[in-house]
Amino acid sequence: MTLRAPFFYLVLATSAAHHACNEKADDTVRGGLSAPPDAFVTANGVRLHYLDWGGTGPELVLVHGLQDSPHIFDHLAAGLSDDFRVIAYARRGHGQSDAPADPYDNATLVEDLRELLDSLGIAQANLLGWSMGGNEITEFAGKYPDRTIKLVYLEAGYDWSDVAFWEAFEQIPIASEPDSASLQSLAAYRAWYQAHFPSTVTWTSGLEAHLRDITRIASDGTVQTIPNETVSEKLLASLAATGRDYARVRAPALALYSSTLLDTDVSDPQRAHAITTWEQQMIAPFRRASIERIRRELPGVVVSEIPNTTHMSIGLVSEETVTATIRRFLLESQ
């Protein structure tokens, strides 16, 4: 098994064809709600960046995927803040958070989350993990059951240490990283990023803030992506080494799955065929086995597939369906 960085581009780069994408971001994230101001807290010896959308209901803490930032949740937060106090943070090595040399194992990331909650005075919380975030919320719930209300796996109900997953990605039929020309300026990187973003997603001010959080501009104007390659490789190693222990989880759980991992709606027929074939032969068995396992090992888990979504678009499109499903699950009494 070969670990490659950056992993994020493997699930992001869903198409080589450009699609219509607004060059100017929407003035607001959704429904007139703007992102909150940047805030920081020191947790587990690391300065972590977080966003707090407020709200008067129970806390809902959002844990992003690999190579994301808290702003990837602007859409979801806008749809959930009426019923919950919504908070998202950048894990170590990501966005505006500190990037220490070590460690990046899952146990350390979970302690970062615990100390974040301690620093914010949160005794109990609902936890939502997207993609890699499923590792942290699973271990946190198993280690701190009294502090976990409910769990939401947003395209995160997978054991990323499964060899079948990595074998599939060794054969992924898409370009996975920006070339040097795409890193010559923020404008060039934005164009690459938008061209490879799921075609159903509209560019917003939240995504623009997200883009700026996952980049650093060097003195010569070139773009450096965050996390850097060294951190990304350590996080990939953590993914490959972290098996899921669902048996320790006592909190009620909701597992939301996209209809496909990658965007199969691309303009090039040959590429579309290659992606579809890969999905059916390589990824579909892994996804089916993952769903069967989570049903088996998390008794009572609610499993729902969100149609016409991908791994990267599920939290950015079909907002009413996704937020309504999450809200209903979190608010219902046990």
Note the pLDDT tens digit of each residue in 69-105: 999 999 899 899 999 999 999 999 999 999 999 999 9
pLDDT computed for residue 185 by the predictor? 97
Instruction: Establish if 89 belongs to a structural domain.
Output: yes
Instruction: Establish if 13 belongs to a structural domain.
Output: no
pLDDT computed for residue 334 by the predictor? 57
Q: How confident is the model at residue 320 (pLDDT cuts 50, 70, 90)?
A: confident
pLDDT computed for residue 333 by the predictor? 79
Instruction: Establish if 16 belongs to a structural domain.
Output: no
Q: How confident is the model at residue 177 (pLDDT cuts 50, 70, 90)?
A: confident
Instruction: Establish if 226 belongs to a structural domain.
Output: no
What is the distance between the alpha carbons of residues 295 and 209, in angstroms, rounded to a whole number? 36
What is the distance between the alpha carbons of residues 127 and 144, in angstroms, rounded to a whole number? 12
| Total of domains in the chain | 1
Instruction: Evaluate if residue 255 carries a pLDDT over 80.
Output: yes
As given in the structure block, the two tokens for residue 133 are 């975030």
Instruction: Establish if 320 belongs to a structural domain.
Output: yes
Instruction: Establish if 17 belongs to a structural domain.
Output: no
Q: What is the mean pLDDT of the chain?
A: 88
Instruction: Evaluate if residue 5 carries a pLDDT over 50.
Output: no
Instruction: Establish if 139 belongs to a structural domain.
Output: yes
Q: Helix, strand or coil for residue 11?
A: helix
Q: Is pLDDT larger for residue 7 or for residue 288?
A: 288
CA nearest neighbour of 122 among 72, 87, 76 = 87
Q: What is the mean pLDDT of residues 54-63?
A: 93
What is the distance between the alpha carbons of residues 85 and 18, in angstroms, rounded to a whole number? 37
Instruction: Establish if 207 belongs to a structural domain.
Output: no
Q: How confident is the model at residue 22 (pLDDT cuts 50, 70, 90)?
A: very low
Q: What is the pLDDT of residues 119-154, one digit of tens each?
A: 999 999 999 999 999 999 999 999 999 999 999 999
**CATH number of the structural domain spanning residue 291:** 3.40.50.1820
Which residues is 130 bridged to in the sheet? 154
pLDDT computed for residue 29 by the predictor? 42
Q: How confident is the model at residue 39 (pLDDT cuts 50, 70, 90)?
A: very high
Listed range (13-17, 153-157, 167-171, 225-229) with the worst mean pLDDT? 13-17
Q: Helix, strand or coil for residue 303?
A: strand
**% of residues, the chain, pLDDT over 90:** 71
Q: What is the pLDDT of residues 196-248, one digit of tens each?
A: 777 778 888 999 999 999 999 999 999 999 999 999 999 999 999 999 999 99
Instruction: Evaluate if residue 14 carries a pLDDT over 60.
Output: no
Of 36-40, 191-195, 315-319, which has the strongest mean pLDDT? 36-40
What is the distance between the alpha carbons of residues 299 and 279, in angstroms, rounded to a whole number? 28
What is the distance between the alpha carbons of residues 168 and 331, in angstroms, rounded to a whole number? 37
pLDDT computed for residue 301 by the predictor? 97
CA nearest neighbour of 204 among 51, 49, 71 = 71
Instruction: Evaluate if residue 318 carries a pLDDT over 80.
Output: no
The domain of 288 spans: 36-173+232-331
